[in-house]
Amino acid sequence: MRLAFMGTPEFASKCLGELIASGADVAAVYTRAPQPAGRGKKERRSPVHDLADAHGLVVRTPKTFRRGDAVAELQALDVDAAIVVAYGLILPAAALEAPRLGCFNLHASLLPRWRGAAPIQRAIMAGDAVTGVQVMRMETGLDTGPILLSEMTSIRADDTAASLHDRLADIGAQLLPRFLAALARGGVVETPQAAEGVTYAEKISPDEARIDWNRPAPVVDAHIRGLSPFPGAWFEAPSPGGPQRVKALMSRVSSARADAAPGVVLGVDDRVTVACADGSVELLRLQRAGKSAQDAETFIRGFPIAAGHRV
């Protein structure tokens, strides 16, 4: 089966790598154009671009599919199917219809829950118990197409966005060759998404990152883990030079009784325990601006957080 692959970040790179390893015939790889990054604003290629180049695959980086030339180039490839994984560009109807069998998206949620840009983070932040990856036929609507193949996984109490991302990427990478084999033999069944239970995984806004201690401990814990490592949930801690922003990168709900106002530090040892509106959380991994992330015990040796402080 002749394919086009469309993807950009590391999640998509894992999927492309598995397709290559399985012997898939990838006619071309589409990815976002190199973007300025770092202090020097040097253009950086996407993980998918680097992997495709390493395997000698044709790489295309159109800025949009709204113009006819990008669609015409896709049509000229004469592919059977396009596999789309976290690509980042909108495909209009003409592009979706270019492959003989259609375009298929690997999405990191159990649709129709968490359609949109940030399904992994939103699932953790909402306290979901399970999530998964699904292959769907693409339509012009946002993640609205019928489901063809699914794989579920539990969301663990110690999952961060990073750990769940990696697990789902591995599951998705293993799912794609199975899907393509079924597609080739005509063995896939399309199941329309349910009309009930639709939620949208909006892009994470910087305004959401500040920790609100006036929420219950399980909600604060899920917020921290869902935003780790990026953009990182943060609070302001007192210091001799004035308040400093500190990111909390790992946490867990504490058994310590919260007999103080929300945001007050209850105790400091190998963790920083902070009172919430209902219960408390233990901060296990922390990071100051411009510094490396550290476990809590190491962090507090170099930064003056103490019991009784309000953060």
Looking at 200, 227, 246, the residue that finishes a domain is: 200
What's the confidence (pLDDT) of residue 42? 80
pLDDT one-digit tens code per residue, 227-259: 999 999 999 999 888 899 999 999 999 988 778
pLDDT one-digit tens code per residue, 263-302: 999 999 999 999 999 999 999 999 998 899 999 999 999 9
Q: Do 192 and 104 share a domain, yes or no? A: yes
Residue 311 is classified by DSSP as -
Q: Do 78 and 224 share a domain, yes or no? A: no
Looking at 181, 200, 219, the residue that finishes a domain is: 200
Q: Do 142 and 93 share a domain, yes or no? A: yes
75 is a domain residue: yes
264 is a domain residue: yes
Separation CA 14–CA 45 (nearest Å) = 16
Percent of the chain clearing pLDDT 70 (strictly above): 99
Q: Do 193 and 232 share a domain, yes or no? A: no
Q: Do 196 and 225 share a domain, yes or no? A: no
310 is a domain residue: no
Q: Do 16 and 33 share a domain, yes or no? A: yes
CATH code of the domain in which 290 resides:
3.10.25.10
Q: Do 247 and 189 share a domain, yes or no? A: no
Q: Do 178 and 273 share a domain, yes or no? A: no
Percent of the chain clearing pLDDT 90 (strictly above): 91
Lowest mean pLDDT among 67-71, 89-93, 133-137: 67-71
The CB density around residue 52, as the number of other CB atoms within 10 Å, is 26
CA 22 to each of CA 19, 172, 178: distance values in angstroms, whole numbers, following the listed order: 5, 14, 10
pLDDT one-digit tens code per residue, 24-43: 999 999 999 998 776 667 88
What's the confidence (pLDDT) of residue 185? 94
Domain with 271, as residue range(s), is 206-302
292 is a domain residue: yes
Q: Do 136 and 228 share a domain, yes or no? A: no
Q: State how many domains the chain has.
A: 2
Threshold 0.85, pTM exceeds: yes
Lowest mean pLDDT among 68-72, 189-193, 199-203: 68-72
Is residue 82 pLDDT above 80, yes or no? yes
Q: Do 107 and 142 share a domain, yes or no? A: yes
Looking at 200, 230, 264, the residue that finishes a domain is: 200
Separation CA 208–CA 204 (nearest Å) = 7
Long-range contacts of 177-182 (CB under 8 A, 24+ apart): 177/18, 177/19, 177/22, 177/24, 178/149, 179/104, 179/135, 179/148, 179/149, 180/1, 180/3, 180/19, 180/22, 180/24, 180/81, 180/83, 182/148, 182/149
pLDDT one-digit tens code per residue, 141-197: 999 999 999 999 999 999 999 999 999 999 999 999 999 999 999 999 999 999 999
Q: Do 144 and 291 share a domain, yes or no? A: no
Q: Do 7 and 84 share a domain, yes or no? A: yes
311 is a domain residue: no
Q: Report whether 128 contacts 156 (CB < 8 A).
A: no
What's the confidence (pLDDT) of residue 239? 87
Higher pLDDT, 35 or 99: 99
Tell me the average pLDDT of the chain: 95
